[in-house]
Amino acid sequence: MASSRAPNASARLLFVALTLCLASLASAGNFYQDVDITWGDGRGKILENGQLLTLSLDKNSGSGFQSKNQYLYGKFDMQIKLVPGDSAGTVATFYLSSLGDTHDEIDLEFLGNLSGDPYVVHTNLYTQGKGNREQQFYLWFDPTKDFHTYSVLWNPRHIVFYVDGTPIREFRNRESTTGVPYPKSQAMRVYGSLWDADDWATRGGRVKTDWSKAPFTASYRSYTAAGCVAYGGGAPSCGLGSSSWMWQELDANDADRLKWVQKNYMIYNYCADVWRFPQGLPPECNAS
């Protein structure tokens, strides 16, 4: 599984100066304490004494929530059971984002399907307002039958997307060598939503949402956030000693699993789409 590696002295001092590192902070386990349902006019519900959150979508509206805290770096986990049956046109999400035109964003989106077809996991990253870094995957299980854990690791070295502890994508911080901005200064909230995107979500928009199947419902539970919490624009507060995620890297087993997923389940990679980038692939695609 994932391993941690201590930073060198200069990196440690830099991070201490940046964050003031007062305490190791984590939230876990109760949606009443951790999130606010922000839209949907009652279609988002917190149930089971805060242990379960459901989002629903009908022809009039979807629904969504956001974390009460903002974070600058962290490890974020959510168990999700996706919309079953004919979910074509629907998109369920679990992502992080800052605000503004030059926002940073780390996206996990689950694109609905016709009954019997696989779900598509759509990942993307925005840095300084620029996205277009999509990778898409099929899953190796039916994500509607039970809850599965979807995770984002975001630290100064890299961003990693996980499914049930298996890494499916890594985006490394190569800002110093490629000039490609890396999310390192804008605090982000955690978001979840369920919404209608039948103009693009299923087979490029060729398959539309069947509203006779509505309402569509996705379920969320076991949310955990271990990160540097940003309070009211002040310096984020987090801890170095107990925060193994802060310097966590992929070990040999993780690297093998990542290659296995990308070989067998990746269905789109922007870094291989030469037709999309006739002037040349983005610089991070050519970095070793």
Q: How many residues does the chain have?
A: 288
Distance CA 29, CA 214 (A): 29
Three-class SS of 164-198: CCEEEEEEECCHHHHCCCCCCCCCEEEEEEEEECC
Rg (alpha carbons) of the chain, rounded to whole number: 19
Cis peptide bond upstream of 143, omega within 30:
no
Distance CA 172, CA 156 (A): 9
**End-to-end distance of the chain based on CA atoms, in angstroms?**
23
Q: Which of 109, 134, 170, 284 is catalytic?
A: 109
109 given a catalytic annotation: yes
AA letter at 44: G
Q: Which of 105, 170, 249, 284 is catalytic?
A: 105
170 given a catalytic annotation: no
Write out the catalytic residue numbers.
105, 109
